[in-house]
Structure 1
Amino acid sequence: MRSVGGDRPPAMADVARLAGVSAQTVSRVLSGHPNVQEKTRGRVLAAVEQLGYRRNSAARALSSGRSRTIGVVTLQTTFYSRAAVTSGIENAAREAGYTVSTATTASLDTSAIEAALARLAEQDVEGVILSVPLTHTSPRIEQLTRSVPTITIDGSRTAATEVVAVDQSLAARQATRHLLDLGHDTVWHIAGPEEWLEAAARRDGWRTTLEEAGRTVPPPLEGDWSPASGYRNGLILGRIPDATAVFVASDEMAFGVIRALHELGRRVPQDISVVGVDDIELAEYCSPSLTTVAQPFTQMGALAVAHLLRHIENPAAVPEPALVEPRLVIRASTAPAKP
């Protein structure tokens, strides 16, 4: 830590002076407040790094020597799955006597994830749950996850993290196998974004199942998790005469697919069977009700907290991945292929 004015360690006012902002802005940046311009946030974090500033956690540590706070890095999104996992984390943390500090990131760039991790480290969190798909790491991310016990969700990992994940390949195999067992010659796929590990695993599981069954593998259609992308791809799929079954990489995209098929006069499931992934609450109530592969979001959040607390108590323990099995839920959107 760089001294300022003799032996005095740097204070928040020194960071504010170097960054050219107010002390209140520095506080908002270090607290992970979303209403700060990225340019300003970058100046503050650069000043923090240059001065070696560390927030004073003495007040928190007076009684126990611990902050009793867990940090969560999550993507800034309205997707149901993200909110459900975060809710599971918050409930489990509260039951264990911990509070949760959340740092959101607007993108999956390593620089954005680095900044989110740094904001949490400044808050003296005891551990971090990295709830974003991490396809690429960086020296800074590796350093941050080594310095603070870290659990990753979605199959991401760094050298120092422990993984809690749903077996996404199995989810895809369950969905694809279900459609093949209903007599469909092959299964089309509307995939999630390539940069998401979940999407890549589902795509691989779908392709492998078709190849093992000796079936033709159609070219995957590309979505972005949104109902709108499902709708756009549904308009394409609905114009392919031989398409009788589709595995969609998320329920929200599946809703868009079903609407597009309705508009094209393709009946679900009489003409095309549809399977999604997630089993969000609306899946049971769309028309027809959606066959899907359920993901235990709340359980995932609770399991991540349990593993993180174990990791906090024994940081030297060798991280062991925990793989959770998904479950196929059969409803009205799938039916046997026409003879």
Structure 2
Amino acid sequence: MQDVAREAGVSPQTVSRVANGSNAVRPETRQKVEAAMEKLGYRPNYAARALKHGQFKNIGVVLFHMTSFGNARILDGIVGAADDNGYATTVVTIGRGQARTLQAVVERMKQLPVDGVIVVLEERIVDFDEFVPPKELPVVLINESAANHCPTIDADQYGCSTAIVDYLLSKGHRTVYHITGPSSSQAAQSRARGWREALEQFGVPIPPTYVGDWAADSGYQAGIALAHEADCTAVYAANDQMAYGAILGLQAAGKRVPEDVSVIGVDDSLVDTVPRLSLTTMRMKFDVIGREAFSMVRRLCDGERVPVGVKTVIPTELVERGSVRDLTLD
């Protein structure tokens, strides 16, 4: 720091202010200091900064899977919000061979230079109800169910299903078939429950479900089977990959979409992947979830109170394209 101060012709205190992101430095002075840092190869010592200020300016993120569309978009939202606020992120994945409990996850993160932790939970874990975060390490959960001891945030998994059923029934369909996600997924369970309870509320027949695994091939197989259901005019798939696979399966079995069967998905994950995309879907705002989760954990790190025992719900958005037919117009 002394070398940078001499090179820039300023005091060490000014170099410290620039290194710590203070606004109390004139722009031209900041430019001189940053040029000197670049020339001399200076990098702030984050361990020393943490000792002085009590924070590493680093947030840990824990995921069980990184390859799914939702998790990737959530992570992008967290990283973007962290970068906007001068924070770094440390990402850790929990493999099948490791202890899959919140206690084990947090114990691992306590060994790393992080100020707080965001845990993305896709599956129910055994210590969810009993877990209490350590006082020295704030924890925020991205999870379908609200936690008693941690702030929780997620998309409206249940509500998106009720909205889809209402939408399809309003188009004149007498019932809605459902391709579920895997039973291990909390989101899939909530979407299936919302679908079933919405049909019950409307007093319409509840058809059998077809179980998928989030992949397009499982949707394709379900689509072939659904083509032989005589009363099937509407299909709700629990994600867009299965919905797109279902469209191909229905077409392979001789059905037209949407003329014979309407199909709707969830997440809007294919918009930049499939050309001329016609799939109607319920968009999940995963990037918003990530940014809001970062805001919550940062507030905890700054000593603010964030409500626990309730879930912050990020609403979904219907995106109408061309895969749903309005039977009321016939």
- TM class, shorter-length: 0.7 to 0.9
Match of 1:328 in 2: 318
The one of 134, 157, 178 aligned to 1:189: 178
Conservation of the 8 A alpha-carbon contact between 2:151 and 2:306 = no
Residue 227 in structure 1 maps to residue 220 in structure 2: no
Conservation of the 8 A alpha-carbon contact between 1:106 and 1:112 = no
Match of 2:110 in 1: 121
The one-letter code sitting in structure 1 at the alignment partner of 2:252 is E
The one-letter code sitting in structure 1 at the alignment partner of 2:321 is R
The one of 72, 83, 87 aligned to 2:76: 87
Which is further off, 199-208 or 283-292?
283-292
Taking structure 1 as reference, are residues 127 and 195 closer, same or farther at Cα in structure 2, changes over 3 Å only? Answer: same
The one of 273, 287, 293 aligned to 2:282: 293
The one of 58, 69, 77 aligned to 1:69: 58
By how many angstroms is 1:251 displaced?
0.6
Tell me the SS of whatever aligns to 1:209: helix
Q: How many residues align?
A: 283
Conservation of the 8 A alpha-carbon contact between 2:257 and 2:263 = yes
Which is further off, 287-296 or 268-277?
287-296
The one-letter code sitting in structure 2 at the alignment partner of 1:307 is M
List aligned pairs for 1:89-168, cutoff 5 A: 89-107=78-96, 111=100, 114-138=103-127, 142-144=131-133, 148-168=137-157
Separation (CA, whole Å) in 2 of partners of 1:273 and 1:109: 43
The one-letter code sitting in structure 1 at the alignment partner of 2:115 is E
Identity %: 33
Separation (CA, whole Å) in 1 of partners of 2:159 and 2:223: 24
Per-residue CA deviation, residues 170-227 of structure 1 (Å, 9 max, x unaligned), is: 1001111111111111000011122222111111111111111110001211111111
The one of 181, 190, 195 aligned to 1:201: 190
Separation (CA, whole Å) in 2 of partners of 1:161 and 1:214: 38
Match of 2:248 in 1: 259
Query: What TM-score does the superposition give when structure 2 sets the normalisation length?
Result: 0.78
Tell me the SS of whatever aligns to 1:323: strand
Conservation of the 8 A alpha-carbon contact between 2:217 and 2:245 = yes
Match of 1:311 in 2: 300
Match of 1:239 in 2: 228
Match of 2:327 in 1: 337
Taking structure 1 as reference, are residues 169 and 146 closer, same or farther at Cα in structure 2, changes over 3 Å only? Answer: farther
By how many angstroms is 1:333 displaced?
0.4
Separation (CA, whole Å) in 2 of partners of 1:252 and 1:274: 12
Conservation of the 8 A alpha-carbon contact between 2:264 and 2:280 = yes
By how many angstroms is 1:127 displaced?
1.0
Taking structure 1 as reference, are residues 294 and 284 closer, same or farther at Cα in structure 2, changes over 3 Å only? Answer: farther
Per-residue CA deviation, residues 73-110 of structure 1 (Å, 9 max, x unaligned), is: 11224221111110000000111111111111245986
Conservation of the 8 A alpha-carbon contact between 2:266 and 2:283 = yes
Separation (CA, whole Å) in 2 of partners of 1:62 and 1:109: 31
Taking structure 1 as reference, are residues 107 and 97 closer, same or farther at Cα in structure 2, changes over 3 Å only? Answer: same
Conservation of the 8 A alpha-carbon contact between 1:276 and 1:290 = yes
Separation (CA, whole Å) in 2 of partners of 1:283 and 1:289: 12
Per-residue CA deviation, residues 36-62 of structure 1 (Å, 9 max, x unaligned), is: xxxxxxxxxxxxxxxxxxxxx854524
Taking structure 1 as reference, are residues 284 and 171 closer, same or farther at Cα in structure 2, changes over 3 Å only? Answer: farther
Taking structure 1 as reference, are residues 152 and 267 closer, same or farther at Cα in structure 2, changes over 3 Å only? Answer: same
Conservation of the 8 A alpha-carbon contact between 2:285 and 2:316 = yes
Query: What TM-score does the superposition give when structure 1 sets the normalisation length?
Result: 0.76
Per-residue CA deviation, residues 253-303 of structure 1 (Å, 9 max, x unaligned), is: 111111111211211101110010011243784666110001111111111
Taking structure 1 as reference, are residues 232 and 102 closer, same or farther at Cα in structure 2, changes over 3 Å only? Answer: same
Tell me the SS of whatever aligns to 1:193: coil
The one-letter code sitting in structure 1 at the alignment partner of 2:85 is A
Q: Which has the larger radius of gyration?
A: 2
Conservation of the 8 A alpha-carbon contact between 1:108 and 1:134 = no
By how many angstroms is 1:328 displaced?
1.0
Separation (CA, whole Å) in 2 of partners of 1:68 and 1:316: 19
Per-residue CA deviation, residues 101-129 of structure 1 (Å, 9 max, x unaligned), is: 11112459863655443322210321111
Taking structure 1 as reference, are residues 177 and 186 closer, same or farther at Cα in structure 2, changes over 3 Å only? Answer: same
